[in-house]
Chains A and B, each alone.
Chain A
């Protein structure tokens, strides 16, 4: 087992110094997601602006409790989606989901996923995929609620 493939230095850096952590005002929607098998939890807030179809992610803030993978993933996710158009942020979500569900066979695009490519190794550890996806799923849910309709 290649531990260093799982625990990339980028992941450990984000784990030790998470970006955008803490819950902030104002926000459009707040969600609470849990990973019932292990107990990892995240409370996540999303703030969008603009009108339907041209919305932008102004802020994502979160309070996460969990392992290095889930904490680092929340940090990387917030980095990637804040400031993006919602459509682009959701496309990034889709790219990360594809990487995580790819069983290690998907080649990540660094232009899209930036630090997120460090999670490529996580896809080879099925038990940890849910850790990496927790905050991304929370973001998608909160963004949908923020819009007032399913994304």
Chain B
């Protein structure tokens, strides 16, 4: 690294952190070293997570909570230990408030499917939501006869709160929004919106899928009623997500899925439910995935979410600066790195995002192209799709340089001009 790359805020020992992620040593077709800028899509996994999952499968595999043998006890301890790690990561008041799901989408569907709504009730979401925090609420309001309303967006890509008094008024039962946008990168004022929502008695559901990887997520400090995130974006495996909810909220909801391990007793006449968290964990859960997630959160905890946040902001600032120097590039979302997370969506004039991604891929650079499961947000800005580069704790300034060079190459390949 050159001296110009000594950005304030970068994680110290970045080379050592990168060495924890074996995939980062891959050389891609054409002899290009992998430049992985698709972490908002899914993060890479450190060796310690991979090893923990292999070790669990090699030495401790058994079903949990129902096997009366030593392996069963070990597996149960590993699974429930992961729940403790998650509770610690979220600063949850109780480990019983941590529900394992298969991903963030399932966690959001759990709440949308079970929360009591009826005609005259209102659900408020935002125009920058991922489809996973839109579609479940469309289904819930269609099913119940409740009304679905939206916070709009400003031209700068922030929430338009000018009509907050109208949207957050009696009748609004649920406010569901993302903490950090997966497309615009915007960090939303979730604690303030939660406070306002609570004044009118609404519950607040936060999608922390993009926040959990890069910000300290303290459910007590933010004050929300439900917070969801997914394992695979926080250096953990796929197949596991988390719903955290306040005990009194979770206790009041009916079960989501019925099956084994979620019951107190079952008779032919009726069944009764286990207490939380098990009430919401029907069937054999993703055990080794939970073990991997627990280790992933410990790994992030050792590095420190504050430090990761500073690193992301330093890299994002450097990326925004680099993109500003490429003629014909337009960034969507806040241009101030302090207001955003590490996902930056942009357009390149005259070159479609698929073609941008293909050209970058030919140089070993992985980005995402498309609507990023946020079609309403794209429509708001009059674009069909964008290219998105997203960094993480292992991203270096040199990788951003490679991206910027790759964009210049893309423009020359498609013979599109400068300004």
Contact = CB atoms under 8 A, between A and B. Distances in A.
A100 to B, nearest CB: 16
Interface of B: 29-30, 352-355, 358-359, 361-362, 369-371, 375, 378, 384-385, 413-414
Given A12-B414, A38-B370, A38-B371, A128 B354 contact: yes
B353 A1 contact: no
Given A3-B413, A66-B354, 13 more contacts: A3-B359, A37-B370, A38-B369, A38-B371, A38-B385, A39-B371, A66-B352, A66-B384, A68-B352, A69-B355, A71-B352, A128-B354, A131-B354
22 contacts: A1-B29, A1-B30, A1-B361, A3-B359, A3-B362, A12-B414, A38-B354, A38-B371, A38-B385, A39-B370, A39-B378, A39-B384, A39-B385, A40-B384, A65-B384, A67-B354, A67-B355, A69-B355, A71-B352, A128-B354, A128-B358, A131-B354
A78 B301 CA distance: 57
A67 B352 contact: yes
Contacts of A37: 370
A6 interface: yes
A7 interface: yes
B385 A6 contact: no
B130 to A, nearest CB: 15
A41 B352 CA distance: 13
B370 A6 contact: no
Of all A-B residue pairs in the complex, the 3 with the closest CB atoms, nearest first, are: A67-B354, A67-B352, A38-B370
Nearest to A66: B352
Contacts, number: 46
A41 B378 CA distance: 14
A128 B283 CA distance: 39
A6 B358 CA distance: 10
B24 to A, nearest CB: 20
Q: Is the interface of B mostly helix, strand, loop or mixed?
A: helix
Contacts of B384: 39-41, 65-66
B386 to A, nearest CB: 10
Given A3-B413, A38-B370, A39-B370, A67 B353 contact: yes
B190 to A, nearest CB: 28
Given A1-B361, A38-B369, A69 B354 contact: yes
Interface residues of A, number: 19
Contacts of B361: 1
A1 B370 CA distance: 21
Contacts of A66: 352, 354, 384
A1 to B, nearest CB: 5
B378 to A, nearest CB: 8
Nearest to A131: B354
Interface string A21-40: 00000000000000001111
A5 to B, nearest CB: 11
Contacts of A7: 355, 413
Interface string A58-84: 000000011111010000000000000
A128 B403 CA distance: 22
A121 to B, nearest CB: 12
Contacts of B370: 37-39
